[in-house]
Structure 1
């Protein structure tokens, strides 16, 4: 038999918590000494272990109290229900992680807390995935959509892209055929090419999506101004290459 102090040491559960479990009827002692000290047997130890396991799995004390008295079939139902709750919580945490990353990214790009942009990013990540898919369906097939949505850049790559976009934004005023515009466009193309393993068909479709949706938040920080800059720089480069080819003949 275990006194409440010994049970606390054995299980790591505080005496205060065991007192509370006794008070609400979740874990009652098996008996008591003549002096009124509560005693717990192996059955109570097992019940406490069940309580701790269910708490770890996210069950409330109220739910634990009802589940412990039920059959295995009801346990299965309760665990299945809890699994759905955990999945829903995980989805919300994933959305929160994406929103926090977007906020940090926007601050790095804008060099300030841009609340309309932050709100737009949060709204985007809170959207049902089907809503995002409906937009992407106009440009990408399912495999290409999966490829785009599964991109997960490490911190170094994120910093490289942030630096590049900032440089482009700092040079929006320069001529598309200038050396700096050409260099920035080349760096963007090289980065995109490497990110998606040189899949030119995908890159073409993705660029169409980015161009058409650049007024929104979906492809931030590829804003209309940044997209126009890159497009005009590429066009200027192609025009110069065509001119050089004609002159060489």
Structure 2
């Protein structure tokens, strides 16, 4: 027989947990010392291994107890049900992950203003989820919809999306203290143009159409885009125009604002 402390040491399961398993009838010890300490047999340890194995598959303790004690337990049905539960749980956790990523991106865009980011995302979450898809299909052709799929995503973890979000956050930050002609603002605009050339070659017409829709609060909402104040977009457009006239004098520079 093995003392409870030794079992805890061998299995890395706390004494408290072992006592709880005993109390609920999941794993009762085979014997006790004169001092009342629990003792476990080899069969008890084998059962404990089973319990931990089923726990690793996501089963609850009550379900494990039924599996170990009910001779009529239907293994096929039980496993299929558990697999369905796990898949549903994975989908729920994925939604939570996307929400957390979106909130982190929103806070970055809002320059650390958590409350503003939360309120904007609450408003977005209350919208009809089918409306953006229908509106996009109405406004863009098939080739443009393929370009749409490459746009930075607030809930994405791709480095390209994260850089776009950071650049937008800088524009919002600089707007509070810098003129649109400021060199630091132009550095951001220059990087935006570089990224556009890298990610959307030959896509100037699509970018221009998207920009005009972006400047419309109503259209942006219908597209399901993260809300950005018109003043910020106007500031970015001014910075872009000043930068273009300086960097490309005498040229007509299209696009540049994702």
TM-score by length of 1: 0.68
Give the counterpart of 1:89 among 90, 93, 96: 93
1:46 aligned partner: 46
Distance in 2 (CA, whole Å) between partners of 1:131 and 1:107 is 29
Residue 225 in structure 1 maps to residue 224 in structure 2 = no
Residue 241 in structure 1 maps to residue 245 in structure 2 = no
Residue 204 in structure 1 maps to residue 208 in structure 2 = yes
Between structures 1 and 2, the one with greater helix share: 1
Cα contact 1:26–1:65 (8 A) shared by 2: yes
Give the counterpart of 2:147 among 126, 132, 144: 144
Distance in 1 (CA, whole Å) between partners of 2:240 and 2:149 is 27
Q: CA deviation at 1:189?
A: 5.0
1:77 aligned partner: 81
Distance in 2 (CA, whole Å) between partners of 1:96 and 1:126 is 17
1:32 aligned partner: 31
Residue 193 in structure 1 maps to residue 196 in structure 2 = yes
Residues 230 and 188 of structure 1, relative CA distance in 2, 3 Å threshold: farther
Residues 101 and 126 of structure 1, relative CA distance in 2, 3 Å threshold: farther
Distance in 2 (CA, whole Å) between partners of 1:17 and 1:48 is 11
2:14 aligned partner: 14
Cα contact 2:215–2:230 (8 A) shared by 1: yes
TM-score by length of 2: 0.66
Q: CA deviation at 1:25?
A: 1.0
Which secondary structure state, in structure 1, belongs to the residue aligned with residue 215 of structure 2?
A: helix
Which secondary structure state, in structure 2, belongs to the residue aligned with residue 102 of structure 1?
A: helix
User: Deviation per CA, 1:87-126, whole angstroms, max 9, x where unpaired?
Assistant: 2123123312321331243134xxxx36344311244257
Cα contact 1:211–1:224 (8 A) shared by 2: yes
Residues 51 and 206 of structure 1, relative CA distance in 2, 3 Å threshold: farther
Q: CA deviation at 1:188?
A: 6.5
Q: CA deviation at 1:8?
A: 1.3
How many residues matched?
233
Q: CA deviation at 1:6?
A: 2.3
Cα contact 2:3–2:39 (8 A) shared by 1: yes
Q: CA deviation at 1:79?
A: 2.9
Q: CA deviation at 1:186?
A: 5.1
Cα contact 2:186–2:239 (8 A) shared by 1: no
Residue 98 in structure 1 maps to residue 107 in structure 2 = no
1:246 aligned partner: none
Distance in 1 (CA, whole Å) between partners of 2:170 and 2:116 is 22
Cα contact 2:171–2:188 (8 A) shared by 1: no
Query: More relative contact order in 1 or in 2 (CA 8 Å, sep 6+)?
Result: 2
Larger CA deviation: 38-47 vs 15-24: 38-47
Cα contact 1:3–1:39 (8 A) shared by 2: yes
Cα contact 2:33–2:39 (8 A) shared by 1: no
